[in-house]
Structure 1
Amino acid sequence: MLEKKKVLVIDDSAFMRRVISDIINSDHRFIVVGTANNGEEGLKKTQELDPDVITLDVEMPSMNGLEMLNVLMKTNPKPVIVISALTKEGADTTIQALGLGAVDFITKPKNIFKMNEEEIKTHILEKIFLASKIHNFPTRNEKKIEKHTVKRVFSSPSSNVKKIVAIGTSTGGPRALQEVLPYLPKELPACYVIVQHMPPGFTKSLAERLNTLSEITVKEAEDKDILRPGVAYIAPGDYHILIEKSSNSSDYWIRLSSSPAVGGHRPSVNVMLNSLSETNLDNIIGVIMTGMGSDGCEGMKNLKVKNNAYIIAQDEKTCVVYGMPKAVVESGIADVVVPIQRIAKEIVKAVEVL
């Protein structure tokens, strides 16, 4: 019989601690080994109980979740799932937590008594199960990045875009993107289209957070956005992002689609990459980073065969989950496999040299 995975529940609400604990203990794979009502107690319990997974509320007295996470990931890293509110403030805080190293998040329903509904319980247990398999916690790049608060989307035509960089990522992606986009120079004649598996309401906060850290402009993609150099477009949650040629100019623009999920994902990396492949452009760089499953592999194959794209894959050592890059690497289409800290340099080199 398999040993049960140990879970530590940290929340300042006694009601939430009980609800979450009951859900976890209802599954034969897990056991709640302890609870804590603030970050300071959570750090002590982590040291004492050595849990396999931690669920973490962010808004807590004494030491909040972000403060605890910052200390934890530097001293005793564990897979952490953040419990998030379905609000703009909750989304912003969740993105900060993912940037600090949380592996995933769960949104509380607006009606807290719906936590016990079967669909929500199944969702929570699946997230905990996947988190329990994570044992890799890449170190963060500690370089201080100048914050850029006032930026405009460039008005220069898309013909000045020397390369289109298409990036796909999932679990661990927000932190990985934080290790790449801030290190791309704004003068580089490239634009960036990005799929990060994430539900609605969070991709805008992710784009805003990355925009404050980066020289390039980072925005949540909108329908009919024209591709411009120095701009990164992140697919909004629950929409596929496709790249198409404008019918009345040489521009390429973004089309958002609510067509059915592909491989369980909307947005899907494959949908984005396949649309790029159909443009017949030969100036594409594909980047595949940390994530569960194999979304992006089919699209990268098409880009390699049809468009002779240059493919960059994140290495296993620096991935939170070596799933999506593994599929690309094992298919033999990756031109280079590098740590997350080198991906920005590889992109710059590919744009300037290739």
Structure 2
Amino acid sequence: MSSFKVLVVDDSPFMRKVFSDFISADPSFEVVATAANGMEAVERTIELAPDVITMDLEMPAMNGLEALKRIMALRPTPVIMLSAVTDNGTRDTIRALQYGAVDFIRKPDRSVKLDIRLVGEQLREKLHVAVEMARSGNYRMLPAVEEKPDKQEEEPQAIVPGERFPEPPAAAEPPQGEPERPSLAADPPASPNGTDRSGGPTAESPPKKPDPLRKKPAKSEPPPEDGLPRPAADGQSAPLVPKLAKPAPSARTARDDRTGLLKEPPRSRSVQQPERPLAKRPPPAEPAGGAGRKTKEAPAGNSAFEHLVAIGTSTGGPRALHEVLTNLPADFPAPVLIVQHMPPKFTQSLAQRLDSFSEIRVCEAQDGETVLSGTAYIAPGGKHMLLAKDPSSSAYRIVLSDEEPRSGHRPSVDKLFESLLGCKGLKRHIVVMTGMGSDGAKGMKALREDGAETTIAEAEQTCVVYGMPRSAVELGAASHVLRLQEIAPALVREVSARNK
């Protein structure tokens, strides 16, 4: 069996040696080269075509973020980031995940004497996952999230004369006649063919900077004739999108023949939107102490909501959450509870970054806080998040728990979903998106049997890793299978039409 080629990138000779030794100790891997900065990393990637790259964030000449963007534009390759547990480190790590990095590990910190052997074991495990996904075709490199103007962010570093690699090509225009992804913010007509799936990332933005919430679609493989994903476990073709048993629809709540979800009657525009007008996005502002952050007033949410959305995700989740949350309007009449598998501190940076792009408020959940509509709550890393009814009022509150990890995860998607069982006073909409493993499948199955309105699994065509959604589909937990760009519009339609 041939070894997988690994490129190790770090400005510290000591760390290059340590990580190279740990990687080489596994016969499945061969360290084909090392690089001391981002420029060398791009050159080595083009010359040697490694199977996977480990990339430090802070380096001279060209930092890890800029190198990542160039690599994903020139030769898309799975990249695992080495992140320092600092405020800047966690923020840059979240950005790297949205630029296209497959995962990250926390870099050993000499000041707190982290177990470097444990870090090495985690790195080897993530390397195996990365190469397995890449070789099996279960890993998809989606277009990177485009940046908002950021006054405090450094300008991309110029390439010194004599560089040996070309400039990244401009992003290609979508093929003529191929529609762009659906959006709820006055985007072009929705695409029924999942054009958000990508065989490679988009290049850096051309001089005319596009809307930061818009991504150009990449080519996708043709779907089955009926446009629906099919299970592959038993080799039999069977639809994964049965219609929910609901009363006969009215003209206003007609269902889509393909997905079984509510749709609106024909309108002058082809983009399906709720009847009420969407809130206009405020211009981005940058308060002190938060690069790229926008000023957002306290939410005008209501604690007496009738609907609740719960989302579980893991590997590939930051970009998937970006797609869903940024397409929810500011007056979305339901709270959104989110479990993203991620260590402590990183979930706070994830919440802050998603908040800066979204119309709804996005925050890291706090123990005991009242849950409000129009707000997304991300479970803190290292804590289970549960929903509980306030015994002294009709409100619901967040409960954070230090209970033992579930299936190796804390926070656990199953733990969140199980806390929603018995909440018959709420119309529950459950979503499982990209990620390794099966967390969330059993909880979703129990909620479907408990009368949840909607249970959605992300379709394989758009998953970065088709693990958690596959488990939900195979268990019979998912009543609907939707591509990533279809999830937010479906939630808006379901919640709006049933919000009576």
TM-score computed with the length of structure 1 as normaliser = 0.94
Residues 134-180 of structure 1 show CA distances to partners (whole Å, capped at 9, x for unaligned) of 22212346542464612234354311x24211010001111211122
Alignment pair present for 1:176 and 2:317: no
- Equivalent position of 1:128 in the other structure: 127
Runs of 5+ consecutive residues of structure 1 not aligned to the other structure: none
Aligned to 1:38: 37
Q: Distance in 1 between matches of 2:133 and 2:111?
A: 28
Aligned to 2:184: none
Q: Is the 8 A contact 1:23 1:116 kept in 2?
A: no
Amino acid at match of 2:53: I
1:139 aligns with: 143
| Map of 1:106 onto structure 2 | 105
Q: Residue 174 of structure 1 aligns to which amino acid in structure 2?
A: P
Equivalence for 1:78: 77
Q: Report the residue type matching 1:68 in the other structure.
A: A
Q: Which residue of structure 2 aligns with residue 338 of structure 1?
A: 482
SS at match of 2:450: helix
Distance across 1 between alignment mates of 2:114 and 2:398: 37
1:234 aligns with 2:378: yes
Letter in 1 for 2:8: V
Deviation at 1:215, TM superposition (A): 0.6
- Residues 241 and 230 (structure 1), Cα distance of their counterparts in 2 relative to 1, 3 Å cut: same
Tell me the CA shift for residue 85 of structure 1. 0.6
Q: Which has the larger radius of gyration?
A: 2
- 2:384 equivalent to 1:316: no
How far 1:331 sits from its partner (Å)? 2.0
The Cα of 1:116 is off from its aligned counterpart by 7.1
Residue in structure 1 matched with residue 439 of structure 2 by the alignment: 295
Q: Residues 341 and 284 (structure 1 numbering): CA distance in 2 closer, same or farther, change over 3 Å?
A: same
Select which of 326, 330, 335 maps to 1:191: 335
Among 338, 345, 355, the residue aligned to 1:211: 355
Q: Which residue of 2 aligns with 1:263?
A: 407
Deviations 1:212-262 (A, max 9, x none): 111110000001111111100000011000001000111011100001101
Is residue 296 of structure 2 the alignment partner of residue 151 of structure 1? yes
Where 2:108 maps in the other structure, the secondary structure is coil
Determine if contact 1:162/1:351 at 8 Å carries over to the other structure: no
Q: Mean alpha-carbon deviation: is it higher for 328-337 or for 133-142?
A: 133-142
In the alignment, structure 2 segments of 5+ residues that lack a partner are 135-139, 147-210, 214-282, 286-293
Distance 1:32 1:114 in 2: 26
Q: Secondary structure at the match of 1:183?
A: coil
Q: Measure the CA separation in 1 of the matches of 2:28 and 2:94.
A: 29
Please tell me whether the aligned partners of residues 164 and 192 of structure 1 are also in contact (alpha carbons under 8 angstroms).
Answer: yes
Greater shift in the superposed pair: 278-287 or 161-170: 278-287
- Are residues 258 and 152 of structure 1, via their aligned partners in 2, closer, same or farther at CA, if it must alter by over 3 Å? farther
1:214-225 matched pairs, under 5 angstroms: 214-225=358-369
Q: 1:114 to 1:120 in 2, by over 3 A?
A: farther
Q: Which residue of 1 aligns with 2:233?
A: none
Question: 2:346 matched to 1:202?
Answer: yes
Closer, same or farther: CA 344–255 of 1 in aligned 2, 3 Å: same
Give distance in 2, aligned partners of 1:27 and 1:233: 39
Deviation at 1:9? 0.7
In 2, Cα distance between equivalents of 1:116 and 1:167: 33
The structure with the largest helix share of the pair is 1
Q: Which residue of 1 aligns with 2:417?
A: 273
Aligned partner of 1:13: which letter? S
The separation in 2 between residues aligned to 1:157 and 1:344, in whole angstroms, is 20
The aligned residue for residue 68 of structure 2 is: 69
Could you tell me how far apart the structure 2 residues matched to 1:121 and 1:22 are? Answer: 9
Which residue pairs with 2:311 in the alignment?
167
Q: Percent identity?
A: 48
Which residue of structure 2 lines up, in the alignment, with residue 59 of structure 1? 58
Output the amino acid matched with 2:130.
A
Q: CA 1:156 to 1:308, structure 2 compared with 1: closer, same or farther past 3 Å?
A: closer
What CA distance in whole angstroms lies between the structure 2 residues aligned with 1:211 and 1:37?
Answer: 34
More strand by share: 1
| Contact 1:25–1:32 (CA under 8 A) maintained in structure 2 | yes
Q: Distance in 2 between matches of 1:144 and 1:181?
A: 14
Q: Work out the CA distance in 2 between the residues paired with 1:34 and 1:179.
A: 36
Can you list the C-alpha shifts for 1:41-77, whole angstroms capped at 9, x where unaligned?
2112112211111100111122211111122223322
Q: Distance in 1 between matches of 2:15 and 2:341?
A: 27
Name the aligned partner's letter for residue 126 of structure 1.
Answer: E
For residue 27 of structure 2, what is the amino acid of its counterpart? H
* Residue type of the alignment partner of 2:448: K
How many Å separate the matches in 2 of 1:336 and 1:203?
Answer: 28
Alpha carbons of 1:141 and 1:60: their partners in 2 closer, same or farther (altered >3 Å)? closer
CA distance in 2, matches of 1:200, 1:326: 27
Q: TM-score, length-normalised on structure 2?
A: 0.68
Structure 2 counterpart of 1:157, one-letter code: N
CA RMSD, 1 decimal: 1.8
Matched residue SS, 1:8: strand
Give the number of equivalent residue pairs: 352
Match for 1:47: what amino acid?
Answer: I
Instruction: Report the counterpart of residue 25 of structure 2 in structure 1.
Output: 26
Question: Which whole-Å CA distance do the structure 2 matches of 1:211 and 1:68 have between them?
Answer: 26
